[in-house]
Each structure stands twice: as C-alpha cells, then as structure tokens.
Chains A and B, each alone.
Chain A
Amino acid sequence: SSELTQDPAVSVALGQTVRITCQGDSLRSYYASWYQQKPGQAPVLVIYGKNNRPSGIPDRFSGSSSGNTASLTITGAQAEDEADYYCNSRDSSGRVFGGGTKLTVL
C-alpha cells in the first residue's frame, strides 16, 4: 500500500505561522484529512477536504494541497496548538495515516 510521509517534528514561535506537510502518491487523487492529538486524548479532526474546518476548530487552521503534497497551516500558533498532527488519505487498500508530526510551540 502507499505511504504518507510527515516530518517527525516541527517547532514554531508563539504567534508565528507553521506549515506541516504530508507527502504521498494517494494525495494526487484524494484530499487529506488532518487530526490533532494531545497526550492521553483521542485524535480530533481539524481539517478535511479541500480546506474545511469542523465546527469549533479555530480559523487559524487551514489546509491546502498540491500534487502529492498536502499541507496543514497554523497561522498565529498558540500554546494550545502544541500536539501531534496526523494526516490521512485513502489508497487502493483502504485508509492510510502519516507517521505524525510533533509540533512544539516555543
């Protein structure tokens, strides 16, 4: 099955903008969804489709896609955004997750 590749760790200064990327062949034909996970909690959907946010997700979270790369952008990162972020897509076998990116807000 295809894979999704994420950088293991990314850091951002408080209030600055950070982009978390996800690469994989399946992303050429399927928009990624993005999940935020804080320690000891279940993942929470933050972005899906072309650039859709579920109710309750701040508008500083946005998504984009180009070719085989999907991106999650946090504009004006807050301390509470420190978490693990996972992308997900679908390939011929089913669903697939990226390895996750640990975001540190400095």
Chain B
Amino acid sequence: QVQLQQWGAGLLKPSETLSLTCAVYGGSFSGYYWSWIRQPPGKGLEWIGEINHSGSTNYNPSLKSRVTISVDTSKNQFSLKLSSVTAADTAVYYCARDVEMATIVARWGRFDPWGQGTLVTVSS
C-alpha cells in the first residue's frame, strides 16, 4: 500500500523560502501526478501544483510566480519550494498522489493517498 511521508521546516520568517519534501513508499512513482495542497487555519483546501515522474509540472496560477515543484525519481521523492513567504502562507501543507483516469467519454481523478500534513507558520 502506497504511503506518503513528508517533512520540512515548520517555522519561517517573512521573505524566506518554504521547502518541503514528500517521499513515496510502497508503490510505483511513475504513471501518476504528485501534488501539493495547503490549508490555512480555519479555511479550505487550496491546490498548489503538481509534477509527474518526468518532471512535467502544473501550478496554481495564483501561486505560479513563487512555486517550484521538483522530483527526484532515484529516491521516489518530490519537493515544494515557495519563495518570499508571508503570513498568508501559514497553512498545513499536504502532499498527495493524483490518480488520473480517462475513457473516450469521461475523465476523472482522485487524490489518494495523502501525506500526514506539515504545519508551516510564517512569523517574524
């Protein structure tokens, strides 16, 4: 069964760069997209971006200028960097596998599984 384990710094100062890594255990790394998702305290989920095993990325347009997602296939890991953080970037950050499916008439996907989440606080 696939499991995701994530880690990274939990306390940052404004203007610093957030850096998180997610490791994939127990399953294939290729053939999927791997996403980062965040949730500010008391608010909803926000998709940050995704990467596949060959390094192809898609980013949320609202964060694109500050986000870099990279992959290390030799370690089955993918990472998130978010530059110039502010208090508005305080959130629980999750990594997740995105399983995409398509037929001639339909497309769908699902985030499953998820990492355990990392609380990142930005404060001076």
Interface residues of A (CB under 8 A from B): 1, 29-33, 35, 37, 42-45, 48-50, 54, 84, 86, 88, 90, 93-100
Contacts and interface: CB of A to CB of B under 8 A. Distances in A.
Contacts of B16: none
Interface string B26-55: 000000000101000000111101100000
B58 interface: yes
Contacts of B59: 94
Contacts, number: 74
Interface of B: 35, 37, 44-47, 49-50, 58-61, 94, 98, 100-101, 106-112, 114-117
Contact of B98 (A29, A30, A95): A95
20 contacts: A30-B107, A31-B107, A33-B108, A42-B116, A42-B117, A43-B94, A43-B111, A44-B114, A45-B111, A49-B110, A50-B106, A88-B45, A93-B58, A94-B50, A94-B59, A95-B98, A97-B45, A97-B46, A98-B44, A100-B45
A86 B49 CA distance: 17
B111 A93 contact: no
State the majority secondary structure of interface residues on B. strand
A31 B45 contact: no
A84 B112 CA distance: 17
B44 A95 contact: no
Given A93-B61, A94-B59, A94-B60, A50 B47 contact: no
Contacts of A95: 35, 47, 50, 98, 109
